[in-house]
A and B are shown apart, each in its own frame.
Chain A
Amino acid sequence: MTSPAIETDGLSKQYGEVVALDALNMTVAQGEVYGFLGPNGAGKSTTINLLMDYIKPTSGTARVLGYDPWNDVVACHQRVGICPDRFETYESLSARRHLELVIDTKRADDDPRALLEHVGLADAIERPAGEFSQGMEQRLALAMSLVGEPDLLILDEPFTGLDPHGVALVRDVVEAESERGATVFFSSHVLGQVDLVCDRVGILYEGDLIVEGTLPALRDTCDLSSDATVEDIFMRLTDGSAHAGEMDT
């Protein structure tokens, strides 16, 4: 349990001239719930794409649960659960088939029905995912991420497209997984949800991690009162107005 869940050192990604992520140094300890926040286009998805080996870095290094995320993919992903952002499910396959794909590849012994019950989709277990609403697809992806009791759960924009029940579900799942001992790393541009679930937050802004810490510590840093929200902190740190319009609260 000595190595951090996530550790990046100078992690950068450039697309031609465009810097998507600029020398990110970040450490997420095992067992914590870390909210990775920032407006759209700040580099949150780029970071997760790098950590999941969806893309390769331009420079810098990273460790995920002690593994090199680009060369030890099999060992690393065996212990990671991912709920991606901007995905479609397999339209001709049932919810059960989706879970079986993950369960069998991870060689886990989870029961697909129990996982679907956990996310409120048990009724749809035999239905092809092509019939699902966006919220149902999101729930299915969440169930897939929980297979095999991962040590690290990565949720990319998990609140997107969910109704209030769905949002509450994600919060419950995060709490339960954290209680089990898992590390939870999630990204969000919806700042309103995160106060309730995070131990620590990092705020990414234009490819840079501008601040990181527990909410009380951040409030102190920013000289804000104890009822200040993540939004207040964000606005203070980015000088208020510039990108405030892009924030979806």
Chain B
Amino acid sequence: MSHTLAPFATDRLLELYRGMRLVREAEERLSALFAEGEIPGFIHLSIGQEAVPVGVASVLDEADTLASNHRGHGHAIAKGLDLDRFFLELLGKQDGYCRGRGGSMHVADMKLGMLGANGIVGAGLPIAVGSALAHKIRGTGHIAVVFFGDGALAEGVLHESMNLAQLWSLPVLFVCENNGWSEFTEGARQLTTDPQRMAAAYGMKATKVDGNDVIAVAGAAREAVATVRAGKGPCLLECVTRRVRGHFEGDPQKYRDAGDVAAATRDDPLARCESQLIADGISQADIEAVKTATAARVDAAVAKARAGPPPSPADTLADVYSPPREVAT
């Protein structure tokens, strides 16, 4: 796990910090909104895991495609999705990304190659593999990336997808966010193997990094993306991280030791990044300025989302099928 690249340009690190701060601020606000009953349904937060999506997305191109999962707010925000439309969707409003049809687990933006969060564990993998197949056949030069948790490692379709990607040498990066928990159960009670050995079994290149070290993630992702983009086949990037919150907001986590939560909270990727920034000569005031600006940006998005009109059932059926088109043969 020694992928930390030193020296790492300070301005680039500050950029990564801004990205992580935005995800953190957005999710902390979602947590509060959910507690106040302003978000319907349920949400899964990635607090404590921000270094993974932000580090990986920092080395992607806008046209690269991305498949996400149920814990996908960070993936969407890091891919550059519009924060206003993101919050509008989470609050179930007409002007949200999915016009209130999807919610937290289905945020998508096809213009940015964000192929959607996903409510089904492991389902993003074959979607990313197929997207990579399209990139390859169409010769776009782009790659596909899929984020999944360690819980997905036990899904059959994950293995089918890894085998297919390696067999066809597809430009896809598999990013495993290994946070140690599969819903309410520790990973150790779910698997007899681990991502590195799985990748080895398929002959796939794999790397393991400290997923709470954004520099390490960005560095390893840069190498992996370069390999994938060069047409050398898929890669697996395992990012070891920690789940600070419950499986879903409101999860009392009775299955979890208090010490585990405390340890996860202490190992904070944002705090670690701040320390590095200070060491690099960035002032505390500069860091506070980032926090203030980010909070203001999220405030604005929340205000807009609260004020947004709810969707009307009237035009909902029209989204089930595409508009009719003359078929030419």
Co-complex (A, B) = no
A residues with CB within 8 A of B: none
B residues with CB within 8 A of A: none
